[in-house]
Amino acid sequence: MQLFRASIAHFPKPTMQFTDDIAIFKDGGLLIDGKEIIDIGPFKEIAERFPAAKVTDLAGKWILPGLIDSHLHYPQTQSIAHYGEQLLSWLENYTFPTEMQFADSEHAHTVATVFLNQLMRNGTTTGFVFTTVHKACCQALFSAASDIDMAIVAGKVCMDRNCPSELSDSAETAQADSAQLIETWHNKGRNRYALTPRFAPTSTPAQLAALGELAKQYSDVFIQTHLSENLDEIAWVKRLFPSADGYLDVYDTYNLVRERAVFGHGIHLTPNEWARLGESGATVAFCPTSNLFLGSGLFDMTAARANKVHVAMATDVGAGTTFNMFKTYGDAYKVSQLQNAPISPLEGFYLMTQGAAVAHGLDHEIGNLNPGSTADFIVVEPRFDELTQLRIKEDAEFDDVFFALSMLGDDRAIDQTWISGICRHRKEKSE
Ligand code: GUN
Ligand code: ZN
């Protein structure tokens, strides 16, 4: 058994909506045994209860739950940060050509490794990940994540129209390939499958219907797609699905709006769509760096709260501009300031830990440091350079530490990343 001594913060309670009911232990102890968290509390109490545990002293650092990124694209690791386009031409000019390269499974394996390294060095221990249309691309990610026992939710992208022929499947092959991937990977180790129609414009009604059938047949799988990100996209959906009552209704028609469905963006939603998302138990992934980068718009967190919609924070790499979830909250804060409704640091932290875990129904395993959860946690070094040493006091409160790092931090603030009880990333001393 290993006992870590540090300042510790997490949200222990599985609340459906944010409350500031955070547990903070300034001189805390986290006890793990193998892959599991056994105990948490004031260091002295834990040390007395478990006198034989090996103690690791992390004075001056914070232990937090591993971070959850609820929407991103691993193939786009290599196409992050391209100048000058909004969504639809960005997809045509950068994204589709990049994704074509993943027909080569060796390339997929190479990028999967870089991608997981980027997650870990930024403190992310779970991702909801889009792959490409290629089955082998999805296999490469599950396989690489299995090697490090990381909890990953991922799926093969399905597209059977409005995309290059090299990236097109069909209603039948999307259904057969997705079913095969579910049988092979879903709930195997820490892997979970997400049915992944890219977005309504690239799927025919027949393909959405085929995926909706799978969503019924395998009712515990996740669903992930994009929703109401860009105004041209929304107008296009209207032309492609003239009988639908709006964008969300396209997915609803095909049984794709339910718990464990994660919709990326949701920027330009109507009041009816907000209400429907709230009653359905689905989740919206708030992707602020991406929404700013592509000029998509400002996410309305106030409407989400009012409609009791689950929200989870996400990078959306490669339209997102960073793998770092702290910085992602930093942009969410700026977006909320533009609407004169600032999202507090504690709410931001909740949306990438326990709030995301509850939204996805995974809070028994991730998102918190409760006994029984898996030992996925990070060690944060707040005062990692000259500027942060000046700005962040040694005895600073957690919300101030988190907020300052959301503006000033980067991967240098992540000292260690532990996954399933093993340290998988440790910052180099010279970094
Ligand atoms: N809509 C459809 N595909 C994509 C994608 O890859 N990224 C983003 N941001 N939006 C999308
Ligand atoms: Zn996306």
Can you read off the two tokens belonging to residue 152? 């990953």
Closest C-alpha among 428, 340, 351, 353 to residue 384: 428
Q: Spell out a b/e string for 78-103, using b for 16 or more CB atoms within 10 Å of the CB, else e.
A: ebbeeeebbbbebbeebbbebbbbbe
DSSP letters for 320-368: SS-S-HHHHHHHHHHHHHHTT-PPPHHHHHHTTTHHHHHHTT-TTTSSS
Domains of the chain are 2-66+369-426 (2.30.40.10), 67-359 (3.20.20.140)
- State pLDDT tens for residues 155-176: 999 999 999 999 999 999 999 9
Residue 430 has pLDDT above 90, yes or no: no
Mean pLDDT of the residues in the chain: 98
Q: What residue type is 92 in one-letter code?
A: E
CB of residue 199 inside a 6 A radius of ligand 1: yes
Residue 431 has pLDDT above 70, yes or no: no
Query: Which CA distances in Å does 407 have to 35, 59, 298, 330, 401?
Result: 32, 23, 19, 6, 10
- State pLDDT tens for residues 204-234: 999 999 999 999 999 999 999 999 999 999 9
Alpha-carbon span 369 to 324, nearest angstrom: 20
Phi, psi angles (nearest 5°) of residue 3: -115, 120
- Ligand 1, atom 1, residue with closest C-alpha: 226
Residues 163, 168, 172: CA angle, nearest 5 degrees: 135
Residue from 85, 102, 316 whose mutation best tests the ligand 1 pocket (most atoms within 8 A of CB): 316
For the chain, percent of residues with pLDDT exceeding 90: 98
Residue 375 has pLDDT above 60, yes or no: yes
Centre of ligand 2 to C-alpha 153, Å, is 14
Confidence of residue 429 (pLDDT cuts 50, 70, 90): confident
Q: Would strands 283-286 and 261-265 be described as parallel, antiparallel, or unpaired?
A: parallel
CB of residue 226 inside a 6 A radius of ligand 1: yes
Residue 15 has pLDDT above 60, yes or no: yes
Instruction: Determine how many CB atoms are found less than 10 A away from the CB of residue 280.
Output: 17
Number of residues that this document lists for the chain: 431
Residue from 69, 72, 73, 292 whose mutation best tests the ligand 1 pocket (most atoms within 8 A of CB): 73
Residue from 79, 98, 203, 229 whose mutation best tests the ligand 1 pocket (most atoms within 8 A of CB): 229
pLDDT of residue 343: 98
Q: Is the whole model's pTM more than 0.95, yes or no?
A: yes
For the chain, percent of residues with pLDDT exceeding 70: 100
Q: What residue type is 351 in one-letter code?
A: L
